[in-house]
Amino acid sequence: MSDSCSSITAVHPDIIQTHILTKLDGPTLVSASSVSTQLHTLCSEENLWKTICNSNWPSTTDSRIQQIISKFPSAYRSFYSDSYPTIRISVRPKENSPELESTKNQTGGELISAIDIHYGTEIIYSKVIFTDTSKSWFLSSPLRIDLLDSKEIVPTPAKFDGDEKTCMARMEKNMRLSWILIDPVKNRAVNLSSLTPVEVRRHWLTGEIQVRYTTVMAAGIGGGFVKCGVDVTCGGKGGGDLHVREISMQVEDLEGKVLSGKESMGILLDAMEGKRVNGKIDENIKMYQMFSEMRVIWRERRQKRERRLDMVCIASGVTIFMAFWMCIFFR
């Protein structure tokens, strides 16, 4: 190989930055930055990461979000490194102990959600919401964040053609959701959504299609697992367009209980500080299936405990009843 093509560093930096790096996605840009000191400097250019973030998550073009991201340690590069990878679970659960440990982290202010929904290459919904986490009603009530009003709908390019399997397969293949939670105090972020839907099903009563995105995470030391789920409910008339009618997020434990704002925020903030991995689509689905199986096992064990307790109560009642009448007859 000739000296002129032996190294990319021989290319003028302006050409690299303008014609090469601008065509790379985030993971490729990270890999390129480790090749040399020069490339690391060029790959750290702020506008590159801003363009990537705006392209992946149009909600980051919101002026309020831009102002918050500018305070991150490395601005958009830090935001991307927090929001792109999947949350890594590093705590081994206790299968017979779904109770949650008391949360140590409190928000004391507000958390920001940046939500984007793509259908194929088209952005169909983008929204930024601010949640006040300091109110007592928020801390004590089950946490559920709804994005759409009762009469609000979001049109999609998909058709509601009446073929159940085809329609659900189309939604599973094309619909992508991102729900990034941002802590403006600690300047951290985390993406709560799975890379792709973990489940697409038709509601047994309404016939609407429910697209579910789930991230399974640890619930504190020894606390087991919880799932952060985002459900997108879609409906429409036969032959017409499919509309998004409901988008909601909540955190559930193995018992199926929706956690309070205090419990949920403690777990989500812990996840925000935790490690990240380059997630794979199959891993998201496997973790969701694992969580569902653990929930079934836990419920079966609880039912067995309750049946044993019922038998003990019945036996105790019979014993007391017989002892009472024996005392009466043998006085």
Rounded to whole angstroms, how far apart are CA atoms 284 and 197? 9
Cβ(251)–Cβ(269) below 8 Å: no
Cβ(45)–Cβ(14) below 8 Å: no
pLDDT, position 267: 87
pLDDT, position 17: 73
**Which pLDDT tens digits describe the chain residue by residue (331 residues)?**
444 344 666 777 777 777 778 888 888 888 888 877 888 888 888 899 999 999 999 999 999 999 999 999 999 999 998 998 777 655 444 444 444 443 444 545 788 999 999 999 899 999 999 988 888 888 889 999 999 988 888 998 888 776 778 888 888 999 999 999 999 988 999 999 988 899 999 887 878 899 999 988 877 644 578 899 999 999 877 667 888 999 999 999 888 889 998 888 888 888 888 777 766 667 788 888 888 888 888 777 777 777 888 787 887 877 887 777 777 776 6
Predicted TM-score (pTM) of the model is 0.82
Cβ neighbours of residue 224 closer than 8 Å, sequence gap 6 or more? 93, 94, 95, 97, 98, 99, 100, 218, 253, 254
Rounded to whole angstroms, how far apart are CA atoms 270 and 275? 10
Q: Which strand (E) or helix (H) includes residue 218?
A: strand 209-218
